[in-house]
Amino acid sequence: MTHYDQDVIVAGAGIAGLALSASLAQSGLSVLLLEASPRPSSPTLGTDIDQWDRRVSALTPASVGILRRVGAWAHIDPKRIAPYQSMQVWDAEGTGTIEFEAAEVGVTDLGYIVENRVTVDALLAVVERSSRVRIEWGDGVEGLARDRDGITVTTQGEAQWSAPLLVAADGARSRLRDMAGFKTRNWSYHQGAIVATVALEQSHDGTCFQAFSATGPVALLPLADPCLCSIVWSVDDPEWERLMALDSDGFTKALNAALAGNAPAVCAIGERAVFPLHQSHAVDYVTDRLALVADAAHSIHPLAGQGINLGLADVGVLANVVSTAYHDDLDWGKANLLRRYQRRRKTDNLAMMAAMEAFKRGFGNRHPLALVARNVGLNWVNQTPLLKRWFAAQALAAEGL
């Protein structure tokens, strides 16, 4: 086999690319991490409403396990981690409701809300200390060429780098995926997700709230400050434009109406941002010398807060497959070996995406019969302990961890 200066090139220093680089380096592989944007500055972690990152993730215990194993969790200030012990989901147009408690499924916490920039910063603290990871900021991949033994990438700055394996962790609109000719199934939800930090009149009490309102699903995710939450409100086109145009008072009123009095009232709102929502899934995750990971392989509706959890589960399995091959002296860039990763992850990812699609369609349907069916369904699940435990286990688990 040809000698390369790095064992793996990772494109994209989001949560997935950083976690993968840290994990591979921990197993003894040398990694070159190429990121198109400049290095993000470390967050100041102020406590005013607009000093919290509007992008947060509900991390499952399984995802936290990965972050712990690579050494990143220890770098997160506990004052920015919000463990939650219960989850309340209801239909704001009916009487259906479902509640999950950590104790019901035998765990201390159902999950942890952490600001994305805080997670990124903790992962950076790990990879920047590793002698096995080299990072090039502001020099994204622009071109690639494969040969029998390896793959060569050309960057924006016209540098060329080669390795036996390239991993595309360049997000939902992955250019690498398109450049390499991977086929995808895509559709737009014709929705925008409005995110913001909000202040509550009372404590959230370690609870995640989610209402299926007439305008779309709205989630209130508890932050480490007991009277602050992060919202994700997925609203149909072009209704989100109207909501974004409202002043703070008008928006707060609309938000409280969507929550229908089942969550603590919102009394103040920070700056808002909106993200267009698309779902995409690559037909294959791997080919010779190239693997897709996390959002580059699949992006999913945020209503169940599973995107980066699925991505970190991919990272756990891919790192395991590659490092096992490396230690067994096998060629870790060959498609037949990388397919072990694809087999283990694709089924789980597809199942979660199908479940989210069913939820989204069920709750998007305004027909009165659909309304009755989903309210009966929610109440039925809530009163059936075995089914409830199954749903909770799906939300907590991730394969390969």
Cα distance between residue 168 and residue 24, in whole Å: 14
Distance, in Å, from the CA atom of 64 to the CA atom of 327, rounded to the nearest integer, reads 26
Q: Which is nearer to ligand FAD, 96 or 302 (CB)?
A: 302
**Nearest distance from C-beta of residue 163 to ligand FAD, angstroms:** 14
Q: How far is the CB of 328 from ligand FAD (least distance, A)?
A: 28
* Rounded least distance, CB 353 to ligand FAD, Å: 12
Residue closest to ligand FAD, measured at CB: 14
Could you give the 3-state DSSP secondary structure of residue 14? coil
Q: Which is nearer to ligand FAD, 172 or 259 (CB)?
A: 172
Minimum Å gap between C-beta 210 and ligand FAD is: 11
Q: Choose between 222 and 311: whose C-beta lies nearer to ligand FAD.
A: 311
* Nearest residue (CB) to ligand FAD, 234 versus 382: 234
Smallest separation (angstroms) from ligand FAD to the CB of 170: 4
Tell me whether residue 63 or residue 375 sits nearer to ligand FAD (CB atom).
63
Q: Which residues contact 154 (CB under 8 A, 6 or more apart)?
A: 141, 142, 143, 144, 145, 160
Of 182, 178, 150, 155, nearest in space to 166 by CA: 150
CA distance 300 to 322: 26
Q: Specify the residue for token string 């919202």.
A: 231
Question: Of 101 and 142, which CB lies nearer to ligand FAD in the complex structure?
Answer: 142
- Strand 97-101 vs strand 141-146: parallel, antiparallel, or unpaired? unpaired
28 within 8 A of 275, measured Cβ to Cβ: no
Q: Alpha-carbon distance 178 to 82, whole Å? A: 37
| Cα(311)–Cα(293) distance, integer angstroms | 7
Residue with tokens 């990121």: 35
Q: How many CB atoms lie within 10 A of CB 328?
A: 9
Residue 232 CA to chain centroid, in angstroms? 13
Shortest distance, position 200 Cβ to ligand FAD, whole Å: 18
Angstrom distance (rounded) from CA 288 to CA 342:
13
SS3 57: strand
Closer residue to ligand FAD in complex, CB, 28/157: 157
Q: 127 Cβ partners below 8 Å, 6+ apart?
A: 18, 21, 22, 25, 33, 133, 135
C-alpha 277/C-alpha 207 separation (Å) is: 25
Min dist. Cβ of residue 160 to ligand FAD (A): 14
Q: Min. distance of Cβ 376 from ligand FAD in angstroms?
A: 28
The CB-of-373 to ligand FAD minimum distance in angstroms stands at: 27
Contacts with ligand FAD, residue ranges (CB under 6 A): 11-17, 34-37, 57-58, 140-141, 169-171, 175, 193, 195, 232, 275, 294-295, 302, 305-309, 311
Tell me whether residue 10 or residue 375 sits nearer to ligand FAD (CB atom): 10
- CA pair distance 203, 136, nearest whole angstrom: 43
Closest CB to ligand FAD among residues 18, 102? 18
